[in-house]
Amino acid sequence: MPKHRQPTPAARRARPALVTAGALTLLCTATGVALAATNPAAEPSPAASSAMESATTAPTSDTTKQPTAAPTATATSDPTARDADAEATPSPPVSDGQAWLSGASGDGAADGALGQWRGDPVDIVGTWADEGDNQTELYSIAPGGEVADFDGAIDIAPGGLQDGDTWATAADGAYDDRWRKSLTRMAELRAGKGTTYIRPFHEFNLAGWDWTVSPGEAEAFKTAWTRYRAIQQDVFPQAQLVYGVNVTSSGTDLDWRTTWPGDGQADVLGVDTYNGWPTITSAADFEAQLDARGDDGIPVGLDAYSEQAAEWGVPLAVPEWSGRAEMGDESAYVTGMVDWFAANAGNGPGQLAYEILFNAPQDDGNFQLFSDATRMPESAQAYVEAVDATSGDRAAEPSRPAEEPAATQDEAEDEDEATASATASRPATAPETVPPAGATPAVEQADIDELVARLDALIARLQQG
């Protein structure tokens, strides 16, 4: 069963110190013990590029897509059992060196502004390639595009079908060449960068898309999905394929469990969800909604989605989420979401692999938290506080910008006195090492405490700079 109890403020962990290879070398010098220090892999920090500048050099990307609509119907058909005869096996989850990837889409996501505002760089950004030739040209990740210079993980949503296309012809292979062109270009543009999560036919259970699926098209959709998967595995096997749905099947009556393509056909289950219908106004409301289900038990709440992902043997993602100003400035929803992410993070079946705050300015800023003119100031503040409170859960491994210099002994020693109190409430953890032959000094706890204090000072200096 997923963990979903919201931690109290006192239970939330403080931001941990970041450990660098240079700092561990410093400890070796101080103690005479040779420590093997490894700089863990992590998503590189985004380059400082402006989304507004990129808009002048490339066609507009679909970062202002229409998110979740109000639900008008729930599923009525029975779920399909997992395909036990499928020959393909799921690709291993990608951890990116984090307990979970926390990110954003829209204003400030890729250029670092949103990360600076929330006090923690984003690990993943979201983008779309919905319509026309954007499905194959992928303007937002192409040179000059909005997220082209972001080297971390991305979630990209190519629409897949276009006006006049049908799922019957897709199942027959009519669009294979287009999909191959799109995925091949995607692989080229993302080479050497962080994990690419591909979310084709996103929110296909929501009415209004060229790729919307009705109950009668379920089998054709599954066949078409397997064709897309085969092409992706051929030309971009490093990517992760996300089976992404809207939180409710509004306007379609589709039970999206019946369209699941089977074992090995997707790497992640994704759900887009926003506050509303019902509107969450308190911690109690959030808790009560977690296991909500529609007709025939179709998932609605996050716990229910987590259980479905676990049943299918894949992790969960929330590629789009935010408050909704038209429903009120409800900070309890934002706090509940971030706390749930922290409590359920991981890359195992049913665990939360990544989440992306939707921060596009569409609909008069209806969904924006990061904005000078945000219509949800209390929610924005709650988000910053929740991100800070859960950063220790998120940063499972130390990470830093690739260009950041390693710590030096002089830099660390300069800040000793200023940071003595910064580490008093957090126990230090000594690295496990084996002393080399002939070494006599042992690593003492006092040495570790001193190192942690020096590291905290260095991080504070770098953050202020």
pLDDT tens, position by position, 434-446: 333 333 344 456 5
User: 360: which residues sit within 8 A by CB, 6+ positions away?
Assistant: 63, 64, 65, 105, 106, 107, 367, 368
Domain annotation covers residue 3: no
HSE, side-chain direction, 13 A CA sphere, residue 16: 18
Q: What is the pLDDT of residue 15?
A: 27
Check whether residue 177 and residue 197 sit in a common domain: yes
Check whether residue 293 and residue 416 sit in a common domain: no
Domain annotation covers residue 405: yes
Check whether residue 23 and residue 134 sit in a common domain: no
Q: What is the pLDDT of residue 445?
A: 62
Check whether residue 157 and residue 32 sit in a common domain: no
Residue bearing tokens 């496990």:
432
Q: What is the pLDDT of residue 17?
A: 30
Q: What is the pLDDT of residue 97?
A: 47
Sign of the Cα torsion 305, 310, 311, 316 reads positive
Check whether residue 385 and residue 442 sit in a common domain: no
For residues 233 and 183, give the distance between their C-alpha atoms in angstroms, rounded to a whole number. Answer: 10
**Residue 420 domain boundaries:** 9-40+401-464
**Is the CB of residue 142 less than 8 Å from the CB of residue 189?**
yes
Instruction: Name the most confidently modeled range: 406-415, 422-431, 444-453.
Output: 444-453
Domain annotation covers residue 2: no
User: How many helices and strands, by DSSP H and E, does the chain display?
Assistant: 14, 8
Between 242-251, 387-396, 403-412, 425-434, the lowest mean confidence (pLDDT) is in: 425-434
Between 152-156, 229-233, 332-336, 458-462, the lowest mean confidence (pLDDT) is in: 458-462
Look at residues 394, 411, 426 and tell me which one is the last residue of a structural domain: 394
Look up the CATH number of the domain holding residue 356.
Answer: 3.20.20.80
Domain annotation covers residue 206: yes
State percent of the chain over pLDDT 90.
63
Q: Could you count the other beta carbons within 10 Å of the beta carbon of residue 219?
A: 13
Would you list the DSSP string of 232-264? HHHH-TTSEEEEEEESS-TTT---GGGG---TT
Q: What is the pLDDT of residue 394?
A: 75
- Region 160-164 average pLDDT: 97
Check whether residue 326 and residue 344 sit in a common domain: yes
Q: Could you count the other beta carbons within 10 Å of the beta carbon of residue 208?
A: 11
For residues 337 and 271, give the distance between their C-alpha atoms in angstroms, rounded to a whole number. Answer: 13
**Is the CB of residue 343 less than 8 Å from the CB of residue 7?**
yes
**3-class DSSP string for 338-384:** HHHHHHCECCCCCCEEEEEEEECCHHHHCCCCCCCCCCCHHHHHHHH
Number of domain units in the chain: 2
Check whether residue 20 and residue 110 sit in a common domain: no
Look at residues 365, 394, 423 and tell me which one is the last residue of a structural domain: 394
Domain annotation covers residue 1: no
Residue bearing tokens 């190192």:
451
What is the DSSP-derived secondary structure letter of residue 91?
P
Based on its alpha-carbon atoms, the radius of gyration of the chain, rounded to whole angstroms, reads 23
pLDDT tens, 364-397?
A: 999 999 999 999 999 999 999 999 999 888 754 3
Could you tell me the pLDDT band of residue 52, with boundaries at 50, 70 and 90?
very low
pLDDT top residue among 62 and 299: 299
pLDDT tens, 66-80?
A: 444 444 333 333 433
Nearest to 195 by CA among 234, 151, 233: 151
Domain annotation covers residue 417: yes
User: 172: which residues sit within 8 A by CB, 6+ positions away?
Assistant: none
- Helix H segments across 32-112? 51-54
Check whether residue 124 and residue 149 sit in a common domain: yes
For residue 266, give Cα distances in angstroms to 92, 226, 309, 400, 446: 11, 9, 11, 31, 49
Q: What is the pLDDT of residue 414?
A: 42
Q: What is the pLDDT of residue 395?
A: 54
Domain annotation covers residue 13: yes
Asked if the model's pLDDT at residue 457 lies above 70, the reply is no
Cis preceding-peptide flag for 361 (omega within 30 of 0): no
Q: What is the pLDDT of residue 197?
A: 98
Check whether residue 16 and residue 77 sit in a common domain: no
Check whether residue 418 and residue 297 sit in a common domain: no
Check whether residue 360 and residue 428 sit in a common domain: no
For the chain, give the longest Cα–Cα distance: 76
Look at residues 394, 416, 441 and tell me which one is the last residue of a structural domain: 394
Check whether residue 208 and residue 309 sit in a common domain: yes
Beta bridge partners of 185: none
Q: What is the pLDDT of residue 464?
A: 56
Domain annotation covers residue 45: no
